[in-house]
Homo-oligomer: A and B are copies of this chain.
Amino acid sequence: MLGRVRTAVAQLVGGPGPAPAAQPPRDSPAPPRVPPGPSACRGPPAGGGFSRPAFLQLGAEELRRAGDHAGRAVQSPRETRGRLPWSTGYAEVINAGKSQHNEDQACCEVVLVDRRCSPRCNPAPKGCTGEAEGGRGGLCFHYWGLFDGHAGSGAAVMASKLLHLHISDQLRDLVDILQDSSPPPLCLPSDSRVLPAERNRAPLAEADAELPNDALPRFHLEKAVSCESLVIGAIENAFKRMDEQIEREQTTRLVAGGCCVLAVVYLLGKVYVANAGDSRAIIIRNGEIIPMSREFTPETERQRLQVLGFLRPELLGNEFTHLEFPRRIQHKELGKKMLYRDQNMNGWAYKRIEEDDLKFPLIYGEGKKARVMATIGVTRGLGDHDLKVYNSNIYIKPFLSCVPEVRVYDLTQYEHCPDDVLVLATDGLWDVTSDREVADVVTEVLMGYEPNDPCRYTMAACGLVVRSRGALKERGWRLADDKLGSGDDISVFVIPLDGPGNYTR
């Protein structure tokens, strides 16, 4: 039912050399296509010891410079090499030395979704070649993705090349449904295609339903499901399929580490912001800040993790306790009373310390130092299938979720001016720059350019990166107020929200 994506991606995630074009789902007759146009997203990325986003089109020398931890030159797309869709602005900078390569990755694409070919549809005629079928065309979505890798860049690189194809694959069953004005059918025939004539049939009568237990009360209910929630489901499942593919690759090839993902899909007038990790998205509209994501960390997901540790104690490997304590307990404190929180509590209470409480807490530390089983500081994302607690056989992955939270913003509900933007950035930016400061920098930079100057969004993205990186002084990278700048990789998209009507701007 669900398309599988080819596993021949060794070059994508392996060593040097140009990456191949992204691989389409295995059982799809027509590969997802990138339409011709101003998109600068295509083309093979430059080779080298590591990979930067294809749309930057960096040459060998540029790539070397982008990887220089001392200079930390800000990278952004060159106007002369074509423009990103909607004149999207982008900028990035490498970390100050915390990892060898820039482990952030980015992707910006326009993707055409062909309807899935029915199993009965053989031999494959023109309807299976990506052409419009039955007189109706496919679906087109715009896509932006930020991938913040950790413990290696393999998962981030792979996801940056393939996640949008998984989204496309999940949408293929929905091409007709989403373009129809009537509500989605609750049930589809077994060949998975919906022909327009089938759409308005009466719901199946339930009176003759064969209930597994006749004693149960019979409900005659139908829940209304919106097209919007179908797109959300498609994005959620695409993340799961992407994660499964990374797992398959990790068994045979080196796909190192994991990555947080912040992905945006623009489809049929709505912006879907999907977040799994600690990147962040905000909309700045008329100077007002609208949060479009929340972060998933050991602190924000404490209870989800504790519930799992409580219900499946074997996952804690006899080394960890699902209880939270405000500090480590010493053996000599046995019998005393210590503050704790269990999986059901938001408050704290005292409990008498028992032998079991001396185990290391499943969640420990505060803020950026909070960790799951003393190992990882984010609780959602892709990859990390082989991640274990140091010097143990305890896997972290069961506690991590690959499912994003998806928020929806209806672009058609508001009039947007050229200064209204969606900002996506990895945590390297948000660690040192608040939402309000981001909005102020964006507004200030945009004011310096004509509203119809397409380079203004790239300049805003560069402004944000420079502000968060700071300047190199005697005592390291410093912000204007002399506070420590971000030593992390930083990647930023600035997406104008009046874009849909201005593709060619």
Contact = CB atoms under 8 A, between A and B. Distances in A.
Contacts of A8: none
Interface stretch (A157-165, A357-365, A424-432): A357-365
A400 to B, nearest CB: 12
Contact of A348 (B230, B337, B359): B230
Nearest to A228: B347
A479 B350 CA distance: 50
Interface in A134-162: none
Nearest to A343: B403
Contacts of A229: 346-348
Contacts of A170: 349
A223 interface: yes
A346 B187 contact: no
Contacts of A359: 212
Interface string A329-348: 11111011111010011111
Contacts of A60: none
Interface stretch (A35-43, A70-78, A105-113, A232-240): A232-240
A351 interface: yes
Contact of A326 (B186, B209, B327, B365): B186
A188 B337 contact: yes
B184 A339 contact: yes
Interface in A289-335: 307-308, 311-312, 319, 325-333, 335
B360 A213 contact: yes
Contacts of A184: 339, 348
Q: So how many copies of this chain end up in the complex?
A: 2
B215 A392 contact: yes
A30 interface: no
A217 interface: yes
Interface residues of A, number: 84
Given A221-B366, A328-B209, A347 B311 contact: no
A218 to B, nearest CB: 8
Interface stretch (A14-22, A200-208, A487-495): A200-208
A405 interface: yes
A78 to B, nearest CB: 38
A1 interface: yes
B392 A347 contact: no
A406 interface: yes
A480 interface: no
A69 B131 CA distance: 68
B352 A216 contact: no
A326 B219 contact: no
Contacts of A346: 229, 232-233, 236, 405-406
Contact of A336 (B189, B330, B352): B189
B360 A319 contact: no
Contact of A188 (B216, B326, B336): B336
Nearest to A355: B212
A415 interface: no
Contact of A351 (B1, B312, B337, B365): B1
A268 interface: no
Interface of A: 1, 170, 173, 184, 186-190, 192, 203-204, 206, 208-213, 215-219, 221-225, 229-237, 240, 307-308, 311-312, 319, 325-333, 335-339, 341, 344-352, 358-360, 364-366, 369, 374, 389-392, 401, 403, 405-406
